[in-house]
Amino acid sequence: MTDLPNKADFAHVRDWVFDLDNTLYPHHVDLFAQIDKNMTAYVSALLGLSREDARALQKQYYYDHGTTLKGLMIHHDIDPLDFLEKAHAIDYGVLSPDLSLGEAIRALPGRKFIFTNGSVKHAEMAAKALGILDHFDDVFDIVAAEYMPKPAGATYDKFMALHRIETQQAVMFEDLPRNLLVPKALGMKTVLLIPQNENHEFVDAWEKRSEEDEHIDYATSDLTAFLNALL
Ligand SMILES: [Mg+2]
């Protein structure tokens, strides 16, 4: 299901919405592994847990609440900004400028947004390292979402309302299938980013795409090629 798009399917699109992590840079860069490690260290220090126990709890919160952060806020009343700062204290040098992606995004007609469960600072640092930040109109982050992560419907509503996005004239690019359910229901086109090797060991079974995902219009492992096919 690595398809190039039918151009006519996107002729009506005025707003282009992109997830950040594992969407605007490829899965194999594995920037998230660094964030994941920082979150484990945070939980371990906060609750005096071993690395192993901290990691198990971190993952439990992720499954139960959509983000580790949300679980920590609910169960331990932590300061979310402090958490975000520490979680995103990572080396962005593993990302290199992606000029062809930047050019493809720049050339798209209409507005472009980053819509992430991370922070604005994280999105800006990553997009800057990729050399694509200037091509986006805005970043909608987990703080703007009042810490309610995708795939919560209320968060999509907030984002769409803030930018007056007509969902019938918008598309969303995401690497997590569950985050495309609401966009599809709202009438958006949906494009799933898949790793070049989908069986890569760090793809959680829970995050894998199943073949019955009817809410996914297209799937691709090459965002630049996909966007270029629309120009
Ligand atoms: Mg992602």
pLDDT in tens, 167-195: 999 999 999 999 999 999 999 999 999 98
Q: What is the 25 CA–ligand 1 centroid distance (Å)?
A: 9
| 110 within a domain of the structure (yes/no) | yes
What are the Cα distances from residue 42, in Å, to 20, 142, 146, 177, 223? 22, 18, 21, 28, 33
Number of domains in the chain: 2
Q: What is the 13 CA–ligand 1 centroid distance (Å)?
A: 21
**DSSP-derived pairing of the beta strands 15-18 and 170-174:** parallel
Residue 198's CATH number = 3.40.50.1000
What does the pLDDT look like over 45-98, one tens digit per residue? 999 999 999 999 999 999 999 999 999 999 999 999 999 999 999 999 999 999
State both tokens at 206: 């829970």
Q: What is the 115 CA–ligand 1 centroid distance (Å)?
A: 9
Give the pLDDT band of residue 202 (cuts 50, 70, 90).
very low
The DSSP secondary-structure symbol of 180 reads G
Q: What is the 173 CA–ligand 1 centroid distance (Å)?
A: 9
- What gap in Å lies between CA 102 and CA 199, rounded to an integer? 28
Residue 47's CATH number = 1.10.150.450
Q: What is the 53 CA–ligand 1 centroid distance (Å)?
A: 25
| 113 within a domain of the structure (yes/no) | yes
Q: What's the predicted TM-score (pTM) here?
A: 0.92
Q: What is the 123 CA–ligand 1 centroid distance (Å)?
A: 11
- The whole domain housing 191 covers 7-27+94-228
Q: What is the 163 CA–ligand 1 centroid distance (Å)?
A: 21
Same-domain pairing of 211 and 118: yes
| 177 within a domain of the structure (yes/no) | yes
Same-domain pairing of 48 and 16: no
Q: What is the 117 CA–ligand 1 centroid distance (Å)?
A: 8
What are the Cα distances from residue 154, in Å, to 51, 144, 176, 212, 214? 34, 12, 18, 25, 22
Same-domain pairing of 16 and 121: yes
Q: What is the 51 CA–ligand 1 centroid distance (Å)?
A: 25
Task: Kindly state the percentage of the chain with pLDDT values over 90.
Answer: 87
